[in-house]
């Protein structure tokens, strides 16, 4: 268990011991453990924290083990070896969850293509197709508040899984014991984490996506231009502290948009969203 999760549970336990009538502590413990975090077509999404009804390394590992079982069953008997692409956003613990997912997949003999830095969701879909993967995992909670994170599953076409596929994956997840039923790389995960993607990963099933793939993604985006001249456009843009700052500004520059005004308070990735508690671009 990570130190943060241990501190959370110890604090709740202490409140109950010190004051057995602490109604809020009882209700919080109940909410954390009364059910498993729900999995659907959007994957997992929930509040960060300790508990089976929270987003943490254990719920991420369990979901990934179920997804791995689903993929290995689907690819059983095929000549093609399955692979999964993984990307992640700027939210708190997104990088760690991506590493945990990579470790579980690799432990299940599934090749992993892992982005070396945070990327937008379309880049995950691109990687799934580019590497002819069996599926993809995007660590994101979209527009939810900062105390949330999520885990989206994509199919071999780079699209979110259908309801039928989600139901099959859920059945696989439900068969996995959250503590004893998950295959991991063990201590090797720490070496992945410490490398911070700068050193070569010493595991045959984990491949860090090279810059050439990101370049191919950028070119694919630009290829969808509709021929409109952009030189006279003036753009105000905010990444909302998410993943868009680098790719969006690069694309705009390369298609000739020179007048780009970025909201400085929301320019850099920040999982706490300090100036935007609900990072939904559709919200007024």
Active site residues: 142
Say if CB 39 and CB 22 are below 8 A apart.
no
Q: Kindly state the greatest CA–CA separation across the chain.
A: 69
Extended strands (E) in 80-213: 83-88, 111-114, 135-139, 148-154, 206-208
In angstroms, the CA 123 to CA 41 distance is 19
Which tokens in the block code for residue 150? 């999520």
Phi, psi of 167 (to 5 degrees): -65, -40
The secondary structure element, H or E, covering residue 260 is strand 259-262
Phi, psi of 222 (to 5 degrees): -65, -30
Which tokens in the block code for residue 213? 């793939």
Instruction: Calculate the alpha carbon distances from 74 to 111, 113, 155, 216, 217 in Å.
Output: 15, 19, 12, 29, 28
């Amino acid at each position: 268990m990570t130190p943060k999760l241990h501190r959370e549970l110890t604090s709740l336990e202490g409140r109950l011991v010190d004051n057995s009538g602490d109604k809020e502590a009882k209700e919080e413990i109940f909410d954390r453990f009364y059910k498993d975090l729900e999995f659907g077509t959007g994957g997992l999404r929930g509040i960060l924290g300790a508990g089976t009804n929270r987003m943490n390394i254990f719920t991420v590992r369990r979901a990934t083990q179920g997804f791995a079982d689903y993929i290995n069953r689907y690819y059983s008997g095929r000549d093609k070896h399955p692979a999964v692409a993984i990307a992640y956003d700027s939210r708190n613990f997104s990088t760690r969850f991506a590493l945990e997912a990579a470790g579980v997949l690799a432990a299940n003999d599934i090749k992993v293509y892992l982005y070396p830095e945070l990327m937008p969701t379309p880049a995950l879909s691109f990687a799934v197709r580019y590497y002819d993967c069996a599926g993809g995992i995007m660590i994101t909670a979209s527009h939810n508040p900062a105390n949330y994170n999520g885990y989206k599953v994509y199919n071999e076409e780079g699209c979110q899984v259908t309801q039928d596929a989600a139901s099959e994956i859920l059945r696989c997840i439900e068969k996995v014991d959250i503590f004893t039923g998950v295959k991991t790389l063990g201590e090797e995960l720490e070496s992945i984490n410490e490398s911070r993607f700068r050193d070569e990963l010493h595991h045959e099933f984990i491949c860090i996506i090279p810059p050439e793939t990101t370049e191919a993604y950028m070119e694919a985006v630009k290829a969808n231009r509709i021929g409109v001249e952009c030189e006279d456009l003036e753009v105000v843009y905010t990444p909302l502290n998410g993943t868009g700052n680098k790719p969006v500004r690069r694309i705009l520059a390369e298609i000739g948009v020179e007048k780009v005004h970025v909201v400085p308070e929301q320019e850099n990735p920040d999982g706490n969203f300090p100036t935007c508690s609900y990072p939904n671009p559709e919200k007024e």
